[in-house]
Amino acid sequence: MTPFVTVYTTVYLGLGSNQGDRSAHLRRAVRALGSRASVRSLRASAVYESEAHTIDPDDAPPDFLNAAVEVQTTDSPETLLRAAQDLEARAGRPPESDRRVWAPRPLDVDILVYGSATRSTPDLSIPHPRLGERRFVLEPLADLDPTLRIPAPFCTDVRSLLNECPDDGTLRRTSLSLTDA
């Protein structure tokens, strides 16, 4: 009899917060992700602070704290998406029907890369379609693995995307840690 083998996939998630206790929101999300039975390990990047992207240049929303986490998980992309949305809801983010692009939020959890998988559905796009346009996503990813190969449509590594990133917004590495108490 062949033993049952559990297959884990390496997944990279982007975390962001610009409402309330930003660092507490990020830490709670990391703890919740790490405590999932389907997660074998978790690593977190450094935490960065960035200006919020806005549609109207006269808007001045609070700055974001951003980070990336790497997890080894047995969750499907859809299960992980539901878990991410649950974390956002518990942090106070409005339901999907009330979300606005670039609106302030207590917690944002995005699936950036799910192994070598690609998806394009109304609910889920993997890899994240704007990954290459966001320095606040690429810098934390580079902390975890600058040679990480991003699947189609990117077909390149994090370091190359970062070198070509058009985002020239201010990004500051903080001294915060998401794995401390």
Smallest CA-to-CA distance from 80 within 132, 46, 119 is with 119
Quote the CA–CA distance of 29 and 21 in Å, as a whole number: 13
Quote the CA–CA distance of 173 and 65 in Å, as a whole number: 9
Which residues are catalytic, by number?
93, 105, 108, 110
Long-range contact pairs involving 141-149 (C-beta distance under 8 Å, separation at least 24): 141/12, 141/14, 141/45, 141/68, 141/112, 143/45, 143/46, 143/68, 144/12, 144/43, 144/45, 144/68, 144/69, 144/70, 145/70, 148/12, 148/113, 149/116
User: Cα–Cα–Cα angle for 161, 129, 9, nearest 5°?
Assistant: 85
Beta strands 9-17; 39-44: pairing state: unpaired
Beta strands 156-157; 149-150: pairing state: antiparallel
